[in-house]
Amino acid sequence: MRKPIETRCIHGNSDFSFQDANKAVSFPIYQTATFGHIGVGQSTGYDYTRVQNPTRERLEETVSALEGACDTVAFSTGMAAVSACFELFGAGDHIICSADLYGGATRLLQTIGQKNGLAVDFVDTTDIAQILARINPHTKALYIETPSNPMMNVTDLHACAKIAKENALLLIVDNTFLSPYLQNPIELGADIVIHSGTKFLSGHNDTLSGFLSCASQELAEQVRMIAKTTGGILAPFDCWLMLRGIKTLSIRMERQQENALQVARWLEAHPKISKVYYAGLPEHPGYEINRKQARGAGSMISFRTDSVETARRVLEKVKMITFAESLGGTESLITYPVLQTHNDVPEAMRARLGITETLLRLSVGLEHVDDIIADLAQALEE
């Protein structure tokens, strides 16, 4: 039987300790580019680090254990994982995506994806009818983020899995915002789960990484072939940092989520805040669906200020909270999506989505919640 997720964060799915001759408690960093052969045509199981390395293998097994995946490949960044994922498709293939994807994924699809002949439709995937309306004989995949970035829109993963199955599409879910601690799309029917491990999995705003977790051996083999061929894999030391970060994923997620709910309620009551987007608030339109498919709403909040001046003042006046891109770490960060993460998204598309100059995105960290609120309070003062 599978162990509880807190235990899997620390030990993977293994028998509680790896076989280390010296009984090291922390998995060793195999800082080596290559491995000697034990004979002609014989291998220790490791030949060259681009293909596999024990530290990376340990990390990949851990992430597989957390996501309920058949296999996982670790990449140097989240975007390396996203672009490897799109190598599964070729010229003429059609992909249906959530409209407010991570800005980097939108940019990838609109530049390199387009060059490679991929046809992409960005639709409001919270409305299943819109997905159905776009399916054509060339459609190969649904690409979903839920809750989405930065609008926190919730897409029904059960419904998407059903559509994917009926139409022989791959269901790909970027699970970065909730992490495997709160949501496991493969268990809901997804074929591939993507993570920017830079965020909650690393958890300390100090390491970049990305993951593709696959539901089947067949997909995993294709992904491994792409990783080996294009080479954007994660280095041994970074694999070790990721293993170290993941050990505390469960307690970090619990506390950050607790902080986020308090901050969201405080923001809601503030006269200079006109709207709060957080899937953990009962009035959020996706609250019920998120509750059905996830174990929480995480610690990402977007909110709208009463004016552009207020938004800019908050960014300039925060002291403990850092005005910086990225999310999911111990330090609280505040982002201006219109100028940062989503700057390359075409303006008309941004306006349609609500990514305007009054929208801010907050990644609630592990500081005491009173300090987070106090910092926002002073930053909102005129």
Ligand X SMILES: *Cc1c(COP(=O)(O)O)cnc(C)c1O
Q: Which strands form 192-196's sheet, in the order they lie side by side?
A: 71-75, 210-214, 192-196, 170-174, 139-145, 94-98, 119-123
| Angle, in degrees to the nearest 10, between helices 308-317 and 369-380 | 130
Q: CA-to-CA distance for 150 and 155, rounded, in angstroms? A: 14
319 is catalytic: no
Q: How far is the CB of 213 from ligand X (least distance, A)?
A: 14
**3-class DSSP state for residue 361?**
strand
CA 200 to chain centre: 8
Task: Give residue number: closest CB to ligand X.
Answer: 78
Q: CA-to-CA distance for 98 and 131, rounded, in angstroms? A: 9
| Residue with smaller CB distance to ligand X, 87 or 306 | 87
| Candidate list 8, 93, 102, 238, residue with the active-site label | 102
Phi first, then psi: give them for residue 218, nearest 5 degrees: -60, -45
Q: How far is the CB of 186 from ligand X (least distance, A)?
A: 17
| Candidate list 8, 199, 224, 252, residue with the active-site label | 199
Q: CA-to-CA distance for 255 and 248, rounded, in angstroms? A: 11
| DSSP annotation string for 106-123 | HHHIIIIIHHTT-EEEEE
| Residue with smaller CB distance to ligand X, 93 or 174 | 174
Q: How far is the CB of 328 from ligand X (least distance, A)?
A: 8
Footprint on this chain of ligand X (rule: CB under 6 A): 77-79, 82, 102, 104-105, 145, 149, 174, 176-177, 196, 198-199, 208, 210
Residue type, 271: P
Q: First-to-last CA distance in the chain?
A: 57
255 is catalytic: no
Q: CA-to-CA distance for 330 and 354, rounded, in angstroms? A: 28
Find out whether 65 and 187 touch, Cβ atoms under 8 Å: no
102 is catalytic: yes
| Residue with smaller CB distance to ligand X, 257 or 310 | 257
Q: CA-to-CA distance for 285 and 338, rounded, in angstroms? A: 23
Q: How far is the CB of 80 from ligand X (least distance, A)?
A: 7
Q: How far is the CB of 343 from ligand X (least distance, A)?
A: 14
| Residue with smaller CB distance to ligand X, 77 or 332 | 77
Q: How far is the CB of 236 from ligand X (least distance, A)?
A: 18
| Residue with smaller CB distance to ligand X, 198 or 310 | 198
| Residue with smaller CB distance to ligand X, 198 or 256 | 198
| Candidate list 71, 93, 156, 174, residue with the active-site label | 174
Residue 315 neighbours by CB distance under 10 Å: 16
47 is catalytic: no
What pairs with residue 170 in β-bridges? 141
Active-site residue list: 50, 102, 174, 199
